[in-house]
Amino acid sequence: MNESDLTDLLRSWPYEAGRINARRIKGRDGKSKLQVRLDLGVLQMEFKGRPDGQQPEGMESLLEVHLKRIGEYTKQTKSNEGYVLSQEEARALREEAVQYYHRYVGLFSLGHFEEVIRDTTRNLEVFDLCRDYAASEHDQIVLEQFRPYVVMMRTRAQAEQAVAIGNSNDALKAIDAGLAELQEIFHKAGHGEIFEHANEVQLLRGMRDALVPKLPGSQRVELEERLRAALDSENYELAAILRDELRMLDP
C-alpha cells in the first residue's frame, strides 16, 4: 500500500482558528482545486462540478440525475405527480449538498462570488426537490431549516459581486430582494414573528446600512421611485426598507 504522510503539508499551512482557511491551487490534472484547512487536515475539492469529482450516471451530480428523471417521467405521464424520492435518494442528495456547502463557504472567503452564487442556487434547488418529491415527511422538511442561511449567503455573494465592480445600487437591490425572500420564507414557515431578529436578516441589513451612505445623490430619485412602486404594490416590507435607505441619505 502506498502511504503518504501529510505532516509536512499540514505544518507548512497551519490551521487558524476562527477563520476560513482556503486557497486555490492547480491540480496534477491541470484543473483548479479548492483546498480548505481544517483543524485535523485538509479538504480538497474540484472547482467545478461535484466537489468530490464523481459523476453519478455520467452527470454532474445527483441533482442533475433526478432532474433528468423527472423530465423523462413528466414527458411519459404528462405530469410530475407520482414521482417520488426514496429515503435513500433523499439522504444521498443531502450528503451531496453538504459537499457543495463546504465548497461555497471556502469560495466566499476567497472572493469567488460568481461560484458562490452558482453553488448556493444549486443547493436551493436540492431543497426544493426534496420538499416537492420526497416520500417521507421528514425528508421533505429537514433541509428547510437551512434555507434562510443559504439565501443569505447567495444574497451576500450577489451584493459583494456588485460592489466589486463599483455598482452599489445593484448591491442594494440584491440585498432588498434577499430580505424580501427571507421574509416570505419565515412567513410561510409560520415564524413571521422572528423575522426581524433572525441572524440572516440582521447580517443583510448591516450590509445595507454600510452601503447606503456610499450612494451618489443621483440615486435618491431611483430610491424614491422604487418606494412609490413598493407602496403601489402594497409591498410594505420593501417600502420600509427603502424608507430607511432614504433616511440614511439625509445629511
Residue 56 lies in a domain: no
Q: Is residue 194 part of a domain?
A: yes
Confidence at residue 242, expressed as pLDDT on a 0 to 100 scale? 76
Residue 76 lies in a domain: no
In a domain, 14, yes or no: no
What are the tens digits of pLDDT across the range 146-189? Answer: 999 999 999 999 999 998 988 888 999 999 999 999 999 999 98
Q: Confirm if 63 and 126 have CB atoms less than 8 A apart.
A: yes
Backbone angles phi, psi at 129, to 5 degrees: -60, -50
Asked if the structure places residue 212 within a domain, the reply is yes
pLDDT digits (tens, 9 = 90+) for 92-142: 999 999 999 999 999 999 999 999 999 999 999 999 999 999 999 999 999
Q: Is pTM beyond 0.85 here?
A: no
Buried b (16+ CB within 10 A) or exposed e, 48-87: eebbeeeeeeeeebbbbbbeeebeebeeeeeeeeebebee
Q: Provide the residue count of the chain.
A: 251
* Domain-located, residue 129: no
24: enclosing H helix or E strand:
strand 21-26
* Domain membership of residue 182 as a residue range: 166-251
Vertex 12: Cα angle to 7 and 16 (nearest 5): 100
Q: How many domains does the chain have?
A: 1
**Is 57 domain-assigned?**
no
Contact 227, 242 (CB under 8 A): yes
Confidence of residue 1 (pLDDT cuts 50, 70, 90): very low
Residue 239: inside a domain: yes
